[in-house]
């Protein structure tokens, strides 16, 4: 890994009690790290990625419409290229996410075939187990967990997304629009990101670390782990939720800049409640209208999903 700002840990070693001080500093100061030995193989990632992108590339318009949910607050099934806008959610612009995606969760899923369902259900289950183990390690390492029974917290409502970022057209090159996806933090406890690298070597994913944007290149046999916005809520603000974005390549790097990103969001249940005032104290932009000070994760995530859908035209 060229940039050593973001450290790499082995989950197997962390669970044996190794690197305690270093891991504590990482989760309380950075909120992002690379992880190996977490129970999901490169072959698992490749099979799921190839299965999803095969549908992106060969699915008919009718098949894709059948895989598109009509529920605006639910991430399931297929989402077309530029159908969403993270920039609208974060109020940093109106440009779209230059990607198409497939999403699934615990239930209410849409699968284009039995084989797709078999591959992705197994993949989801393996990532879910790995994310729960990793999140427990993060919360324990924080030294300030106060979210109640941890097993209850981790018995949650995860979402898995496979994003395909195609080569950008000229009008979406960095000279015209610097980002494929706007800066944001995830509404999750933690997020796993497994990437395929751009063929031309361009690094698209970056995170903010100590006020600086740091490249997060694809690392063989590893995932990026990003602490999400729920982590500070259950650790008294000790664990940060780093903002991250997906850059656009410059005009001279458009060719060979396509990539995929498999993203597993370990989210709490929609009934998870929190203090809006505390969330804002921890630097989280909670812009929802609820009576009193207490909101639920369902209140927060539902508003974001509705806002995310790009306006027609």
Residue pLDDT tens, the chain, 313 long: 334 589 999 999 999 999 999 999 999 999 999 999 999 999 999 999 999 999 999 999 999 999 998 887 778 999 999 988 888 888 888 899 999 999 999 999 999 999 999 999 999 999 999 999 999 999 999 999 998 889 889 988 899 999 999 999 999 999 999 999 999 999 999 999 999 999 999 999 999 999 899 999 999 999 999 999 999 999 999 999 999 999 999 999 999 999 999 999 999 999 999 999 999 999 998 888 788 889 999 888 876 666 666 654 3
Mean pLDDT of the chain: 92
| Cβ neighbours around 220 below 10 Å, total | 8
265-284 core/surface letters (b: 16 or more CB in 10 A; e: else) = bbbbeeebebebeebeebeb
Residues 171/175/181/186 CA torsion (nearest 10 deg): -170
pLDDT at residue 90 in the model? 83
Out of 75, 132, 254, 259, which one is annotated catalytic?
75
Which regions of 187-282 does DSSP assign to beta strands (E)? 190-195, 205-209, 212-215, 223-227, 244-247, 259-266, 273-275
How far apart are the C-alpha atoms of 57 and 64, rounded to whole Å? 11
Tell me the whole-structure pTM to 2 decimals. 0.94
- Determine the Cα angle at 45 with ends 243 and 159, to 5°: 50
Percent of the chain predicted with pLDDT > 70: 95
According to DSSP, the β-strands at 259-266 and 273-275 are: unpaired
| Cβ neighbours around 118 below 10 Å, total | 12
Q: Which residue has the tokens 């005032």?
A: 277
- Is the CB of residue 14 less than 8 Å from the CB of residue 23? yes
pLDDT at residue 180 in the model? 94
pLDDT at residue 307 in the model? 63
225-240 core/surface letters (b: 16 or more CB in 10 A; e: else) = bbbbbbbbbbbebbbb
pLDDT at residue 74 in the model? 79
Tens of pLDDT along 188-227? 999 999 999 999 999 999 999 998 999 999 999 999 999 9
How far apart are the C-alpha atoms of 180 and 203, rounded to whole Å? 12
* Residue 91 appears among annotated catalytic residues: no
């Amino acid at each position: 890994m060229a940039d050593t700002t973001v450290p790499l840990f082995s989950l197997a070693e962390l669970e044996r009690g190794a690197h305690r001080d270093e891991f504590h500093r990482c989760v309380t100061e950075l909120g992002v790290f690379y992880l190996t030995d977490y129970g999901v193989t490169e072959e698992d990632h490749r099979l799921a990625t190839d299965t999803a992108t095969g549908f992106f590339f060969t699915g008919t318009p009718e098949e894709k419409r059948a895989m598109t949910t009509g529920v605006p607050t639910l991430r399931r099934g297929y989402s077309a290229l530029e159908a969403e806008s993270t920039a609208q959610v974060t109020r940093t612009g109106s440009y779209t996410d230059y990607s198409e995606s497939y999403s699934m969760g615990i239930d209410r899923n849409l699968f284009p075939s039995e084989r797709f369902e078999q591959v992705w259900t197994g993949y989801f289950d393996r990532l879910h187990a790995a994310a729960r183990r990793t999140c427990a390690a993060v919360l324990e390492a924080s030294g300030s967990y106060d979210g109640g029974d941890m097993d209850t917290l981790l018995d949650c409502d995860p979402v898995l997304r496979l994003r395909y970022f195609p080569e950008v057209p000229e009008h979406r090159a960095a000279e015209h629009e610097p980002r494929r996806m706007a800066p944001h933090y995830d509404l999750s406890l933690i997020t796993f990101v497994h990437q395929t690298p751009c063929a031309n070597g361009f690094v698209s994913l970056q995170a903010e670390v100590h006020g600086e944007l740091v490249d997060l290149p694809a690392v063989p046999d590893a995932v990026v782990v990003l602490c999400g916005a729920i982590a500070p809520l259950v650790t008294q603000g000790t664990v940060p939720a780093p903002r991250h974005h997906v850059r656009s390549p410059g005009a001279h790097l458009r060719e060979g800049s396509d990539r995929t990103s498999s993203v597993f969001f370990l989210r709490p249940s929609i009934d998870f409640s929190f203090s809006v005032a505390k969330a804002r104290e921890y630097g989280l932009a909670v812009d929802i209208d609820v009576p009193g000070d207490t909101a639920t994760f369902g209140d927060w995530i539902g508003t974001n999903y509705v806002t995310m859908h790009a306006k027609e035209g």
